[in-house]
Amino acid sequence: MTRSMARRLLAFLLLALVPLMSACQSQGRTYDFAVAPTQNTGMVPEEPAAAVQQTETEDTLDYDSYDPESEEGIGDDTGDGEVQTVDLSALLDMEQNATVYAEPTAEKVETSSYAGATPVLIDPIDKPTPSPVPPLTFPEYVVYDATKLGISFEAPPGWTVDDVEQSVYLITNPDLSVDYQATLQVSAYTVNSEYSQSELSKEVKNILTNLKGTFASFSPTNTATRSLLDKTGVYADFTGTYRSGVRVAGRVHAVCVSKKLYILEMTYPAEYKETYKDTVYKRFRHSVKITK
C-alpha cells in the first residue's frame, strides 16, 4: 500500500468515528446530576406551617350545656298579684337528658378470659341508679334583718346567722341529716357607678372562678339575666364535687342598685338543687328589700 492510500484510509476511519464519539458524550451527560433524575421534581419544597398561637383569655371556666335562662319567668309575678308557679321537673329532665346525650351511648362491658370472671362496668350508663332522696320541704319562712347591709329577706326559720363581717350576711341550714348544709350568703358593696349587664356578668364569672379552686371538679352554666330588687341582674348556676366526694350545687346572682352592688350566693346539696331553687331562692328573690 502506498503512503497516499494509507493517509486516505486513516482519514476515512477518523470521519467514521466522529458520530460514535458524539453519541457517547451525549449519553454521558445523563449522569451529570447532583441527585438522581427521579428525585429532581423541579418543585420548591413547602415551608413548614407556622404554629397557631392560642390567645389566652381571663375566662378559664368550662361551661356546661345547661342554659339557666330557660327558667326565666319561673316564680315571677303574673301581673295580677299572684306568683307564677311552674313544675321544675321538666327543666331537670332537660338538663339530665342533655348530659346523657353528651356522653358516649355505647353500652360496653369488659370481661376477663378467665372462667368465672365478674364483668366490669366501664360506661356510666351501666352504673346502678342512685336511690331517690327523701323529699325536702320548707313549710314556713321568717324575716332575717341584715342591718349592716341595709336589707331584709325571708328564709326558713332556725338557720344559723353569721353577720360578723361588715359587708357579708350568712345563714346556714343547721340540718345535719344531709351530707352538706345549705348556705345563703348576701354581700353588699358600694361602687363608683351603676354596673352594666356586662360588668355584672364579669362579677358573677369572677365568683365562679374563685369557687372552682375549692372543688375537685366544677361545672358552671353560662350567665343569664333575671330581676332582683326590681333591677335587671345577672346570675349563673354551678355544680361541683369536693375532694371528699360530696356533691353540691349553687347559684350566684348579682345586681346593682343606686351604686351598691348586691351579690347573692347560695350553695346546697346537689340532689336538692331544684328544691332549693324553687323554694328558698324564689322566696328570697321575692321578699328581699332595701331597708335603708
pLDDT at 41: 42
From the list 109, 140, 112, the residue with the least C-alpha distance to 127 is 109
Q: pTM for this one?
A: 0.61
* pLDDT above 60: residue 80: no
User: Distance between CA 259 and CA 145 in Å, rounded?
Assistant: 21
User: Distance between CA 200 and CA 226 in Å, rounded?
Assistant: 12
User: Distance between CA 224 and CA 186 in Å, rounded?
Assistant: 19
Cell numbers standing for residue 230 = 326590681
Residue 212 lies in a domain: yes
What are the backbone dihedrals phi and psi of residue 146, each rounded to the nearest 5 degrees, phi first? Answer: -95, 80
Q: What is the CATH number of the domain that holds 222?
A: 3.40.1000.10
Residue 179 lies in a domain: yes
Residue 193 lies in a domain: yes
Greater confidence (46 vs 225) lies with 225
Residues forming beta bridges with residue 224, ordered by sequence position: 235
- pLDDT digits 0-9 by tens, 171-201: 999 998 888 999 999 999 999 999 999 999 9
Residue 30 lies in a domain: no
Residue 189 lies in a domain: yes
pLDDT-based confidence at residue 105 (cuts at 50, 70, 90): very low
* pLDDT above 60: residue 243: yes
pLDDT-based confidence at residue 291 (cuts at 50, 70, 90): very high
Share of the chain above pLDDT 70, in %: 55
- pLDDT digits 0-9 by tens, 248-261: 999 999 999 999 99
Residue 38 lies in a domain: no
Domain that residue 262 falls in: 157-292
Domain count, the chain: 1
* pLDDT above 70: residue 262: yes
Residue 291 lies in a domain: yes
Residue 85 lies in a domain: no
